[in-house]
Amino acid sequence: MGKTFNYILLAPALLISLLVVLIPGILTVFVSFTDWNGVSLSPSFIGLQNFHEIFEDRVFWKSVYNNVQWTIMFITVPVVIGLLTAMLLLKRKNSRSAYQLIFLFPYVLAPATNTMLWSNIIFNPVSGVVGYLNNTLGLPITSPLSSVDTALYAVASVDIWHYWGFLTVVYLAALRQTPSDQIEAAELEGCNGWQLFRYVYFPSIKPTFSIMLVMIIIFSFLTFDYVYLLTGGGPAHATEMLSTYAYTFAFSAFQVGKAASVALFMSLLGLLASSLYIWLNKNELKN
């Protein structure tokens, strides 16, 4: 009776997983081998043709390159800012909660709101900061969103602004779990701030750091909202991502089969990142 009752309790979660994850996943795999247009009730099986065509498309490889650049930016800039800010907040016990609320505010705002703020206040060439620098100070500056050289970094800066506060709160929560006796022992030994972080705090937060790193990698290859809202993948595919590339196939060209093949490629990248995390954890447990 006990095991049966446990299975009954798990049944709703398993059913939701089946409906939301497993069935759409199987359908994505199936559709990726067809020429389905999203409407037809009788798609034709075309084998690996979709994969062959996207692998020969230079825009596909441009989107992969942009995704790699995006991932590198996100596993460095917001992570470093988040760790530094978390370490600073660790020493400010009185106003810590207020700072956390302020830093977390961009994260809880909708992407549409964040992009509207940045588009109008920062990047607007007439009334924004860019317009002020150009019109008032006479600096030859145009909106970074309109240049193929700067558009990707401009979009990334908005998403980094949105994300680093969340990392700060997560890292701070992990840092606060560091055993106090280890901290006191290190301070008695005369450790400076860097040594304290390297030998005491970081080993304590390493599991949290690792899983957040894997999540950042996965989310970087799935990024869509800020790119689509700010540039739509332009100009000239300068900010094209795998997600916007698939979106164009699905909802502009009505080539859902190709979109599914791109989505399957993205899923494989996420699976590789998850496998890397599991492998790192196994090695850590062995050591």
Q: What is the DSSP annotation of 177-225?
A: TS-HHHHHHHHHTT--HHHHIIIIIHHHHHHHHHHHHHHHHHHHHH--H
- The helix, strand and coil proportions of the chain, stated in percent and rounded to the nearest 5, come to 75, 0, 25
Long-range contacts of 16-20 (CB under 8 A, 24+ apart): none
pTM: 0.88
Task: Give the pair of three-digit tokens for residue 50.
Answer: 């979709």
Q: What is the DSSP letter of 147?
A: -
Give the 3-state secondary structure of 56-69.
CCHHHHHHHHHHHH
Q: What is the per-residue pLDDT for 284?
A: 65
Tens place of pLDDT per residue across the chain (287 aa): 567 877 788 888 888 878 888 888 888 999 999 999 988 888 899 999 999 999 999 999 999 999 999 999 999 999 999 999 999 999 887 888 888 889 999 999 999 999 999 999 999 988 889 888 888 777 788 889 999 999 999 999 999 999 999 999 999 999 999 998 998 898 888 888 889 999 999 999 988 998 898 889 889 988 999 999 999 999 999 999 999 999 999 999 999 999 999 999 998 888 887 787 778 777 666 65
